[in-house]
A and B are shown apart, each in its own frame.
Chain A
Amino acid sequence: MSSPGVDGDPKPPCLPRNGLVKLPGQSNSLGAASITKAHQQSRIACASSHPPPALPPPSLAAPLPRATLAGGPCPSVGLPLGGPASSLAPGPPAERLPLAIDEKILNGLFWYFSACEKCVLAQVCRAWRRVLYQPKFWAGLTPVLHAKELYNVLPSGEKEFVNLQGFATRGFEGFCLVGVSDLDICEFIDNYALSKKGVKAMSLKRSTITDAGLEVMLEQMQGVVRLELSGCNDFTEAGLWSSLSARITSLSVSDCINVADDAIAAISQLLPNLAELSLQAYHVTDTALAYFTARQGHSTHTLRLLSCWEITNHGVVNVVHSLPNLTALSLSGCSKVTDDGVELVAENLRKLRSLDLSWCPRITDMALEYVACDLHRLEELVLDRCVRITDTGLSYLSTMSSLRSLYLRWCCQVQDFGLKHLLAMRSLRLLSLAGCPLLTTSGLSGLVQLQELEELELTNCPGATPELFKYFSQHLPRCLVIE
């Protein structure tokens, strides 16, 4: 076990255990290489800007203390820019900052941009970068870094690891690394200041991480409690046995060729605090779903079994018995599951708030009757590609008073009559009817009755004409309608 190092001493470098050699001479100076990408936008700069009118200094007349309302009866709650402009007073009269770099304005303004837009704005000037690089603007975001982006090529031809300070400043809690090797991961751990304690989530995609690499990563990055492995074919179940740590609360494994029942055995034995498990594995069978222990029965609230083609209703029996506290369940693509399996879920998992039965071709309207009858707390139901669902199934759903999100993508038998059943569902906030070919324009127009709807997806609906979208923009103004 590698030692963490004593404070003040240089820490021993992270060594991969399979004999690979690290890069020599790690300086952290900026490389001379710069990447230029052609920017395709060519918007004309907008209307001329007048020079801002000069703001005279605030008067010091007697009423001023009332005017500033500091801590007064009017709470300035919800103001992104902070209280009245008491700090507007300029210092020497001539030196006034252009308002476009006024930090109070920027602190409020930058909330109106997406993550990608913020990445562009950080490149404008130092003031914008300084305001933007506060952690609050990046909460919940995960940078995706490809292996090649982790290195600068120096003029001498050597490679050096990039400086990740700009990521540390923004306080990212998670990283996704794509196409990385054991060595790359070691370099990341050594070169990112917050790697040992500050990173809570790691995701590796299409990477060649081995059992030894997995062990080193989880040992060194003591803060990681959420782990995702996708498309990684070089680690085995033995690697899971040797590296999984009890601190992990969320695990996702998908498209990793060596994962089968023994992986679930390892997970069930080693992860008593597991709250969320996502598994996409073609070879996992029903028996493995009985491995979950009582600890997980208590702690696990989300289970996603994606395209687990071998799972049958027997596997569902095992799930409902070993994980009775589930609030979210996905059986998406578990093509052998039938209505009987859904009946078991409805009868036993009464706490469910989210159920995903997408891509289960054997599911019929009967399943929806079971769902509507027993799952009173259900808020989200996904039925994409459940091609046997008809208007009758929708009539069962209409009684569900908690349902907020309903996905019916490519439910090709749904017609206007079925839509009518949905119109009474006042709780609905999100509805997707993408790819439903039988819905007509007049049938869809009835959706204006759902005045509380916030998002409506009508992509690939032949009945969704431009006139319909115009109609919605007038009569469903608060709803985001996706074409």
Chain B
Amino acid sequence: MPSVKAQSSDGEIPEADVEVAKQPVTIKTMVEDLRMDDAGGNDLVPLPNVNAAILKQVIPRCTHHKDDPPPPEDDENKEKRTDCVSVWDQELLKVGQGTLFELILAANYLDMKGLLDVTCKTVANRIKGKTPEELPKTFNIKNDFTEEEEARVRKENQWCGEK
């Protein structure tokens, strides 16, 4: 089975079956455009926006899910559910926040809807149930509201729930 090499931003070259590698639509298009599938296995697909560590996690997922049907076209501007993450994906995504966010960006760049969906769901599930006091600590963000702003934003968001 012909293989394709992808060159990550930090210069490493993980290898992958061309069929697996074509899952990310970005790569698929590149491969087909440059007619890499019938060339020798020596061409490199450059991925300057994805580093090797992330790429090494993306590739196993492509392999595992290579026979999945394409995800349905979903309505972008609608609330999305956060259940239905397969056990395999849950294991893969037992990583830290930073890596998760990197995976989201990679999935977006590589145009991989399935991966984008499960990574967003995973982050969302980590966020749900936490208070506005806990969340900045969890995600290393600074709560930069002034006291007045904080009182106002709290007041103008009480209308939902807790009634």
Contacts and interface: CB of A to CB of B under 8 A. Distances in A.
A478 B72 CA distance: 13
Contact of A119 (B145, B151, B161): B161
Interface string B17-60: 00000000110111001100000000000111101010000000
B127 to A, nearest CB: 7
B141 A149 contact: no
A102 interface: yes
Given A46-B126, A78-B74, A109-B123, A63 B46 contact: yes
Interface in B68-117: 73-74, 76-82, 84, 94, 96-99, 101-102, 104-105, 108-109, 111, 113, 116
Given A43-B130, A46-B126, A122-B157, A105 B143 contact: no
A34 B155 contact: yes
B148 interface: yes
A120 B10 contact: no
Contact of B154 (A35, A58, A73): A35
Given A74-B111, A123-B153, A126-B145, A113 B128 contact: yes
A61 B48 contact: yes
Contact of B152 (A30, A53, A79): A30
A227 B138 CA distance: 43
A3 interface: no
Q: In the complex, which of the residues A69, A84, A100, A163 has the most CB atoms of chain B within 10 Å of its own CB atom? A: A100
A73 to B, nearest CB: 6
Interface residues of A, number: 81
Interface string B117-140: 000110110111111111111111
A351 interface: no
A81 B151 CA distance: 31
A163 B152 contact: yes
A144 B127 CA distance: 25
Interface of A is mostly: loop
A1 interface: no
A80 interface: yes
Contacts of B30: 66-67, 69
B150 interface: yes
A101 B136 CA distance: 10
Interface in A5-34: 30, 33-34
Contacts of A119: 157-161
A124 B26 contact: no
Given A35-B155, A78-B76, A120-B132, A102 B101 contact: yes
B156 interface: yes
B101 A79 contact: no
Interface string A121-162: 111111111000000100100011100010000000000001
B119 to A, nearest CB: 9
A53 B140 CA distance: 14
Interface string A68-94: 010011101111111011001000000
Nearest to B10: A56
Contacts, number: 232
A172 B72 CA distance: 30
B160 A115 contact: yes
Given A49-B138, A56-B9, A34 B29 contact: no
Q: In the complex, which of the residues A35, A78, A123 has the most CB atoms of chain B within 10 Å of its own CB atom? A: A123
Given A74-B26, A120-B132, A163-B152, A98 B105 contact: no
A75 to B, nearest CB: 9
A100 B141 contact: yes
A173 to B, nearest CB: 15
Given A30-B148, A58-B49, A119-B161, A164 B156 contact: yes
Nearest to B130: A43
Contacts of B134: 41, 43, 45
A272 B52 CA distance: 66
A24 to B, nearest CB: 23
A118 to B, nearest CB: 8
B79 A114 contact: yes
A457 B149 CA distance: 43
A73 B34 CA distance: 12
Contacts of B47: 67
A246 interface: no
B123 to A, nearest CB: 6
A111 B46 contact: no
B73 A78 contact: yes
B57 to A, nearest CB: 12
A121 B129 CA distance: 10
Interface of A: 30, 33-35, 37, 39, 41, 43, 45-53, 55-56, 58-59, 61, 63-64, 66-67, 69, 72-74, 76-82, 84-85, 88, 98-102, 104-105, 108-109, 111-129, 136, 139, 143-145, 149, 162-164, 166-167, 477-478
Given A45-B130, A48-B96, A50-B98, 5 more contacts: A55-B49, A59-B9, A109-B104, A112-B124, A120-B157
Interface of B: 9-10, 25-26, 28-30, 33-34, 46-49, 51, 53, 73-74, 76-82, 84, 94, 96-99, 101-102, 104-105, 108-109, 111, 113, 116, 120-121, 123-124, 126-145, 147-163
* Top 6 A-B pairs, shortest CB-CB distance: A52-B98, A34-B151, A99-B101, A49-B97, A123-B132, A166-B156
30 contacts: A34-B155, A41-B129, A47-B94, A47-B96, A48-B96, A56-B51, A61-B48, A64-B48, A67-B26, A69-B30, A72-B29, A74-B26, A74-B29, A78-B113, A80-B76, A81-B108, A81-B116, A84-B26, A88-B49, A98-B140, A100-B139, A100-B140, A100-B141, A105-B101, A105-B105, A111-B79, A112-B121, A121-B135, A163-B152, A166-B152
